[in-house]
């Protein structure tokens, strides 16, 4: 099993979770119902906590980590991901907060203390620099990323659809594992 304790913390899982056997989840990590963590992804909650909401997918080769607590910053920088979020392949998430129904494009890097509100799309390969607070309903692209435009109604609907697609995919994997 890809669950690894750290000190007195063991990852906590909701219902109907799919964890690919090659992923690694360490320490103070909480994953909500119907979520999935895919091939060779790492979620390392050692010096702070990680929370992943319901119906969220963390795709292949993604790294999620946190920043430690200090006297100057007693809360440190945990990693918090909302509900129905799609985290694309090979993303780095470090000590940031991501709202509900977001899509983080493949190869993106989201750094400490970034706040991504609900219904935001981050284009593939984007870099969100430390401390940025983004605006809901927007598409961000680039290195460093900038707001390109408002999302269309169809794109906003696609954010939820992407998460639901991965929920069906993880259900197929869970069913295959039972047979």
Instruction: Please compute the mean of the pLDDT values over residues 64-84 and round it to a whole number.
Output: 97
Burial of 29 (0-12, 13-18, 19+ CB in 10 A): buried
pLDDT class of 177 with cuts at 50, 70, 90: confident
According to the model, what pLDDT value does residue 178 have?
85
Q: What is the rounded CA–CA span in Å between residue 10 and residue 28?
A: 6
The single residue listed with the structure tokens 């979020």 is 85
Residue ranges covered by each domain of the chain: 3-178
pLDDT class of 1 with cuts at 50, 70, 90: low
Residue 125 has pLDDT above 70, yes or no: yes
Residue 100 has pLDDT above 80, yes or no: yes
Write out the two tokens for 22. Answer: 């090659």
Q: What is the rounded CA–CA span in Å between residue 175 and residue 124?
A: 31
Task: Decide the pairing of beta strands 36-37 and 12-13.
Answer: unpaired
Secondary structure letter of residue 33 according to DSSP:
T
* Cross-strand partners of 45: 27
The single residue listed with the structure tokens 């010096």 is 47
Residue 161 has pLDDT above 80, yes or no: yes
CATH class of 3-178: mainly beta
SS3 label, residue 58:
strand
Q: Longest C-alpha distance within the chain, in Å?
A: 52
SS3 label, residue 175:
helix
């Amino acid at each position: 099993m890809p669950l690894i304790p750290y000190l007195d913390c063991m990852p906590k899982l909701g219902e109907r979770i799919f964890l690919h056997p090659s992923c690694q989840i360490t320490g103070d990590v909480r994953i909500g119902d119907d979520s999935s963590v895919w091939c060779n992804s790492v979620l390392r909650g050692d010096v702070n906590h990680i929370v992943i909401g319901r119906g969220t997918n963390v795709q292949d080769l993604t790294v999620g980590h946190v920043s430690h607590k200090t006297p100057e910053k007693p809360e440190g920088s945990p990693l918090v991901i909302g509900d129905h979020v799609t985290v694309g392949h090979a993303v780095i998430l470090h000590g940031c907060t991501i709202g509900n129904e977001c899509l983080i494009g493949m190869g993106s890097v989201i750094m400490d203390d970034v706040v991504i509100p609900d219904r935001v799309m981050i284009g593939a390969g984007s870099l969100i620099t430390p401390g940025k607070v983004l605006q809901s309903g927007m598409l961000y692209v680039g290195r460093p990323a900038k707001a390109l435009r408002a999302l269309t109604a169809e794109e906003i609907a696609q954010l939820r659809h992407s998460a639901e697609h991965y929920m069906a995919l993880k259900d197929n994997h869970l069913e295959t594992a039972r047979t």
